[in-house]
Amino acid sequence: EPSPHLPAPENVEIFSYNFHSFLRWSPVPVETGSVLYTVHYKTGAFPVWNETKCTRIPQTQCEFPQEIQKRRWTISLRVRAELGQVPSGWVETEPFVAEKHTTLGPPKVNRVNASSDSLLLSVTPPFTPEPGDRFRYRVFYWENTTSTTKKEEETNKTLFQIGKLKESTLYCFSLRVEFKGAFGDLLGQQSAPQCHRTAVT
């Protein structure tokens, strides 16, 4: 029986970054004793609550079990607090689908080769792709001077060139990835600018 005296966890939210997902919540304050937490999950296909490894844990976050780290599944979770034998009520999340709700980080820049009139970039997506994944990269670049006019290009290749540049000039660029998912496009975060000088002919 949920106790009226033990409040349920608050600020319960799913945090997901590059398809790596956690449930987290605020600690339940009590006068004495230590509160433990238990998390269950269910899927859209099989709506029965299942236990996770997060049973009677002191932490206020729980990583999704491996078996539900699936990008297109609909997942619901619930968490409750327990003080000794006394449980709080459950708090249930809204249904979560990683491919709709995850936050994508910036692409990784592996290599930059500068020639006199171009920069050749080699990049990879922010997470390990699955077969059939489609990406588009947006590249913003500008000459590192006081009047910065930004230019933008798009590509779906992981090796691409920023061309028509001036020689021996410092250029900066920043990237973001667009993931073409089953539920529409997910736009990733923009990378921190990197600056490289073109070569002298």
Provide CATH code, domain 10-100: 2.60.40.10
Q: Domains of the chain: which residue ranges?
A: 10-100, 108-197
High-pLDDT (> 70) share of the chain, %: 98
Fold agreement between 10-100 and 108-197 = yes
Provide CATH code, domain 108-197: 2.60.40.10
Instruction: Please give the structure tokens belonging to residue 109.
Output: 């820049």
- Angular region, 71: left φ>0, alpha ψ -120 to 50, beta rest: alpha
pLDDT tens, 80-117?
Answer: 999 999 999 999 999 999 999 999 999 999 999 999 99
pLDDT tens, 128-154?
Answer: 999 999 999 999 999 998 777 899 999
Q: What is the 3-state secondary structure (H, E, C) of 54-111?
A: CCCECCCEEECCHHHCCCCCCEEEEEEEEECCEECCCEECCCECHHHHCECCCCEEEE
CA distances from 20 to 43, 65, 164 (A): 17, 10, 39
Q: How far apart are CA 9 and CA 89, in angstroms?
A: 9
pLDDT tens, 1-34?
Answer: 666 789 999 999 999 999 999 999 999 999 889 9
Q: How far apart are CA 141 and CA 118, in angstroms?
A: 11
Instruction: Please give the structure tokens belonging to residue 93.
Output: 């999340």
pLDDT tens, 173-182?
Answer: 999 999 999 9
